[in-house]
Amino acid sequence: MSDTYLELANSALGKKLFSAMGLPEPVTLVREDREQPHILSGKVLVGASLGSLYGKQIGSFLEATSMQVSDPQVSEKRHLIFDASGIATAEQSAELYDFFHQQIKSLPSCGRVIVIGLKPSATANLEQGAVQRGLHGFIKSLAKEIGRNGSTANLLLVDNGGDAAIEAPIRFLLSAGSAFMNAQILTASTPVATMEADWQRPLQGKTLVVTGAARGIGLAIAEVLARDGAIVIGVDVPQAEKELTEAMAGLGGLALPLDITSDGAATILRDFCAAQTSSLHGIIHNAGVTRDKMLSRMTDHQWNMLMQVNLGSVQRINAALLETELLDNGGKIVGVASISGIAGNVGQTNYAFSKSAVIGMVETSAESCAERGITINAVAPGFIETQMTAAIPFVTRQMGRRLSSLGQGGLPIDVAEVIGFFVSPQAAGINGNVVRVCGQSILGA
């Protein structure tokens, strides 16, 4: 659904009117080129604190991209990366201030800010751990300052052994694929599987499952995975068989009409996958429903039915796949949660419970999955322009769009791009992460 306000704000006449009236002027975000995705461009300035750990490594792999690494003395528009891993005291935090105080005005429209720090538990002492935790507040505040320019700021924390895994998240956070991911924190840990893959076609020849794939966000996920070289097995309810079959045929994928809540559905899905490949690269649990109602008026059917779609089916499918070795040594599990599962929402006790449980699934399963060479992560979308949000009342819909640092709703492809990153082989060191794709929505910020 089109955002008329956003379109007006970026028209020649609209810019004059909105500026004169003091209205918010959200910037049209730059997203991936469908024909040539994952191409990094523009100029980037890399700074580092005294005693930082990753500055040389970052500069080395940036030189292999099409980005231009800038001289700090030259005044020009550029993306900004700062390695803050060496900051160990309150006094040293001035190094972070000095860099951004001098350089933040050089950030271009739809620019990128990345700060690299240490996971507090991986620091040398308690004082450094406390100081490194301060980067959370810094990045979230900075993101709010630059969001009006369509720019984003995100934090990459490095855990013990995670130094080998930082290239993929930095590349992704610099890319147009991270357009609606703002003020988020990724943690890189020891890679659990090989990370070798082509940066432009990372999923070449790999098979992945997407549930709820006939339309909306699920279809966008399938399209991004296919674009990146994957063979997609799309799953959706039998009632959507025609849509699903046509969509998967257009992507060179396979359609599996299946009610994932039905008896034996998990076994049917597992066996279908096993018949196609001996090594399933990943599954994206996108299928979900809402049955909104104030708790006092909610029926037990509205609670139980939603719970079986959003949570029970996910648990059963995971259990069935993990009974085999289909996902071992490089497999990916991705859950689709929601900011409602983080912040809660009126009339959504059932939905918020189910989506918070998806986050719990990631948190409780990450260690055991890693032991088998599998990563498990989740995305938590905010206001995304879909048929579902198009049905929201006009005023509520406008509020949902504007109450974020970027001043607009996201698109299904924004969720899909983050998932595409999670399932890339290069992201083998990204495990147990939950990322909000919400443009830094005020809800639950």
Phi, psi values for residue 434, rounded to 5°: -125, 120
- Positive or negative CA dihedral for 314, 260, 241, 245? positive
The angle subtended at Cα 285 by Cα 282 and Cα 289, nearest 5°, is 165
**31 — phi, psi (to 5°)?**
-115, 170
Q: What share of the chain is helix, strand, coil (3-state, %, to 5)?
A: 45, 15, 40
b/e sequence 96-106, b meaning 16+ C-beta within 10 Å: beebbeebbeb
Cα(251)–Cα(229) distance, integer angstroms: 10
Give the tokens for residue 204: 């070449």
Is residue 351 among the annotated active site residues?
yes
Question: Which secondary-structure segment (H or E) carries 26?
Answer: none
Query: CA–CA separation, 120 vs 84, rounded Å?
Result: 12
Separation between Cα atoms, residue 415 and residue 436, nearest integer Å? 9
DSSP designation for 35: S
Other C-beta atoms lying within 10 Å of the C-beta of residue 396:
11
What are the tokens at 336? 């689709």
Q: How many C-beta atoms lie closer than 10 Å to residue 312's C-beta? A: 17
Structural contact between residues 94 and 36, judged by C-beta atoms closer than 8 angstroms: no
- Within a 10 A sphere around the Cβ of 242, how many other Cβ atoms? 11
CA 385 to chain centre: 16
Residues contacting residue 201 through CB under 8 Å, at least 6 positions apart: 228, 229
> Which residue is catalytic, options 5, 54, 97, 351?
351
Distances (CA, A) of 162 to 174, 192, 197, 429, 431: 19, 10, 18, 7, 11
The tokens describing 427, both together, are: 């992201």
Instruction: Indicate which residues carry an active-site annotation.
Output: 351
